[in-house]
Structure 1
């Protein structure tokens, strides 16, 4: 990719997330793990209800926080963290509340603006560690300096970068010796037709009971079932039928096959675990009644783990921690 095409893609990527966050905020979204509230604007997203946020995003935060503390062996105040692709800042904010010295960076100026506004209203502002948000290109931002960071976090952001070698080498350059890279990413190249068939089965059964966000007609024609599995397969890979990306121009740029081999080449693996196969695609769409939604979501989460551990379904996200040697 030449420099003009790179610039064009960055502009389009930023515009996509500018538009997304503006629409979400206008419809009542609060990107704060502690202060989020019910938001019916989301029809199938964990941000729809605080109990889903706790099961999903809070768990991710706790995993990242605990990994940094365990693997650095230092007090949070002595650890400088950079989150790349921080979006509206909910993870960076919570890491700062845990005492870390945090910089959140995103290409979207609107996301950074929202992050700053949320941080300014934070009731725990006086108790948290240092927190700063910056907008711009991770590869060449002038405020990022060589060997100045103790831990770099990619939460659902690394797969948006096509040139994985450049991105991961940049992380290595920014990290201090012994510094950590923490990667929690979807890997849609691991979605299989069996994953789609299971998703169709589960969503259809939920819909028949009136427990899902949309009505899915029951069809017993083999050809129609196969066609719906194919459509859902594309959807789970975040692709349209012609293979184009749905969320933004750079979404789905890298899968497991592109990310993981380079991580193990450039860093020393300190931790790896597969995460979930279908949990994230369903809990926001549950319509089991306010009293039962959280219970059903917890059940799906545990069943997801069992099916992944048994090898029945392939995990479609992973968590990796590497160390700069």
Structure 2
């Protein structure tokens, strides 16, 4: 079993003494893992990261790093690397001097500093740029320098606060790959804050989904996507069709129009209100008559998105039911106004108590 590096025990944060931005947080961060704190603005994810970094003080509870309590230790003595969205590089220093700074304040010998700076620049694929100033670099290059500076003193933990948020999509994807590579090479524990769901799914060993100051679900990317713990997680991560329903019996639900077979959570009795969650990519198009939960659906709108087409359909009393048609089936794209026979496998249906 992987050892715990960081532990939050009953940590809360309030700025006004009444509203808790983070509420009674219990969290263990494993040594060597890539953990993403994911959630909408105001959910408590960034405050959690800032308390771990030492830039915010908990109102209650404790935080430990490698078994030692750190919530009363100032930031500069926690030995934690931090990468910010705005890079936070010293504009009056060269790239090499920026990288050398964390080493010089730790009184590392000059020769060793030179060796480590060269190695750090090579690691982030910026060899030969040590003499430039930050303003002479692109945004992506500056963020690579910021990442190298956070890693150069070999901290046990690196915190990344939405580091790619200011970059365009292509550059963001390139740096995601770089961060994954560096994490794999170094094995350092990384805690990453983002509101970007695809970024969290791409990077993470585990994801902690935050809402209203609490973790709604903590698990692997596959677990939080395929088996969301509640309607918030299902709706926040990825596209999601949400349909109100009523339980008919142990295996069937009544929708606004028609019914469907589904596996129901324990405790839902006949007559109870429920909420059905169906991912658009799990909807089967051109289904056979005997397919599970097969029914006719009218195509209302077709949107071409490159790797897939997004179909808005009228089904089960709604006109906003979505399905995805992969690019390899592009020759079979239906036109708006046509009727398809769709099917929804029982395994694709997630049911929550309403």
TM-score (norm 1): 0.28
Which structure dedicates a bigger proportion of its chain to strand?
A: 2
